[in-house]
């Protein structure tokens, strides 16, 4: 089978690498720290922002997946050199560059988000995300690389821990029957992209030349409010109703004085204070992947978190 190189081993990178390995491909993962080998996966410790080093690791690959993400407060400084390195490696090796993107580049929009919307964000994080894709798209149109971007909303599902708004701050408390606190209006519709579907979309477009040269939205289940998501998860977990409270803006502002992450979230608060809905019809009309049914998403997520929470006790 083919060699695929995945840059980054956060939730999306790990899910993509493991899905590729399960399909029988040769998989090489690049991360700063590296890891012990896994079945079908070779781990390489490397600073992916070094284009010469990344190019050597990617030689012979059919696809190069950009799944790494700097900490939110370092996007403007760390993203550009990493993206330039990915483009350089794709150009030198001929590997298809598959970029994992998000929805920040659109900025606030009063309608469901579609891929034909302009990348009109005015905040620094939205602007840098838009610039990363514009760089790759320009090189693609010049015939120097083959590139595609897959955009997801907030991740949800097995493997999503501290980075998810319905993850580390919510699931352990929910499984214990305790109240939870969420960012923004808990009753506004919000799209949650299931992590395994994101990995599947990245892999699918890598092998479809008609997908290249543009961005696609990951097939995502219909939008649900945070309150509804919590209620559905609690019902699946059998914990009974769980109170959902909104994180007070005053508390958020005070905490932001000490937390770089919370300070950065102020730019994207609109995503949680108003409807934030992704439209993935374009992808679904062109390719085979569909969003995993919501019931399966809830069941798999609850089961995964139960295993995660129980793991320390098993090894104590």
Confidence at residue 294, expressed as pLDDT on a 0 to 100 scale: 96
Has residue 72 got a pLDDT over 90? Answer: no
* Residues 6 or more apart whose Cβ sits within 8 Å of residue 254: none
The per-residue pLDDT of the chain, averaged, comes to: 93
Tokens of 278: 């992704």
Residue 30 binned pLDDT confidence (cut-offs 50, 70, 90):
very high
Count the alpha carbons within 13 Å of 208 in the hemisphere toward its beta carbon.
Answer: 19
**Of the listed ranges 8-12, 65-69, 71-75, 130-134, the one predicted with least confidence:** 71-75
Average pLDDT over residues 245-249: 81
Name the percent of the chain lying above pLDDT 70: 94
The C-alpha angle with vertex 202 and arms to 200 and 205, in degrees rounded to 5, equals 105
Confidence at residue 252, expressed as pLDDT on a 0 to 100 scale: 64
Q: Report domain extents, the chain.
A: 3-156+192-217, 171-188+223-276+293-310
Has residue 67 got a pLDDT over 80? Answer: yes
Has residue 257 got a pLDDT over 90? Answer: no
Name the packing angle between helices 75-93 and 124-141 (round to 10°).
Answer: 10
Has residue 316 got a pLDDT over 60? Answer: no
Name the percent of the chain lying above pLDDT 90: 82
**Of the listed ranges 8-17, 82-91, 98-107, 158-167, the one predicted with least confidence:** 158-167
Torsion of CA 202, 204, 206, 209, to 10 degrees: -140
Average pLDDT over residues 87-108: 97
What span, in angstroms and rounded, lies between the C-alpha atoms of 46 and 65? 15
Confidence at residue 16, expressed as pLDDT on a 0 to 100 scale: 98
Name the strands in the sheet holding 96-101, side by side, starting at the edge strand that comes first in the sequence. 41-45, 26-31, 3-7, 63-66, 96-101, 147-151, 215-217
Q: Which one, of 183, 152, 185, 176, lies nearest residue 283 by Cα?
A: 152
pLDDT in tens, 218-232: 999 999 999 999 999
**Of the listed ranges 21-25, 134-138, 260-264, 295-299, the one predicted with least confidence:** 260-264
β-pair partners for 224: 190
Phi, psi of 100, deg, nearest 5: -90, 115
What span, in angstroms and rounded, lies between the C-alpha atoms of 9 and 15? 8
* Residues 6 or more apart whose Cβ sits within 8 Å of residue 66: 7, 8, 82, 83, 86, 97, 98, 99, 100
Has residue 87 got a pLDDT over 60? Answer: yes
Return the CATH number of the domain spanning residue range 3-156+192-217.
Answer: 3.40.50.720
SS3 for 188-216 is: CCECEEEHHHHHHHHHHHHCCHHHCCCEE
């Amino acid at each position: 089978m083919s060699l695929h190189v995945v840059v980054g081993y956060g939730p999306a990178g790990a899910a993509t690498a493991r899905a590729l390995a399960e399909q029988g491909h040769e998989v090489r993962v690049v991360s700063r720290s590296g890891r012990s080998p896994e079945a079908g996966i070779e781990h390489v410790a490397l600073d992916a922002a070094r284009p010469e080093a990344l190019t050597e690791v990617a030689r012979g690959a059919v696809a190069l997946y950009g799944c790494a993400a700097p900490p939110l407060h370092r996007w403007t400084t760390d993203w550009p050199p990493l993206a330039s390195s990915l483009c350089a490696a794709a150009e030198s090796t001929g590997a298809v560059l598959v970029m994992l993107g998000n929805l920040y580049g659109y900025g606030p929009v009063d309608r469901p988000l579609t891929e034909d919307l302009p990348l009109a964000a005015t905040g620094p994080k939205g602007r840098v995300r838009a610039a990363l894709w514009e760089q790759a798209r320009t090189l693609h149109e010049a015939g120097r690389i083959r590139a595609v971007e897959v955009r997801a909303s907030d991740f949800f599902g097995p493997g999503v821990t501290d980075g998810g708004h319905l993850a580390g701050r919510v699931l352990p408390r929910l499984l214990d029957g305790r109240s939870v606190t969420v960012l923004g209006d808990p009753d506004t519709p919000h799209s949650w992209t299931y992590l395994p579907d994101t990995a599947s979309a990245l892999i699918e477009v890598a092998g479809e030349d008609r997908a290249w040269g543009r961005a696609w939205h990951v097939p995502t289940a219909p939008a649900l409010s945070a309150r509804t998501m919590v209620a559905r998860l609690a019902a699946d977990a059998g914990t009974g109703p769980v109170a959902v409270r909104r994180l007070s803006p005053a508390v958020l502002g005070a905490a932001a004085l000490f937390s770089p992450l919370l300070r950065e979230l102020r730019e994207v608060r609109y995503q949680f204070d108003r409807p934030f809905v992704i439209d993935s019809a374009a992808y679904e009309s062109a390719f085979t992947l569909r969003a995993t049914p919501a019931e399966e998403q809830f069941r798999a997520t609850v089961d995964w978190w139960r295993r995660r929470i129980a793991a320390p006790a098993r090894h104590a």
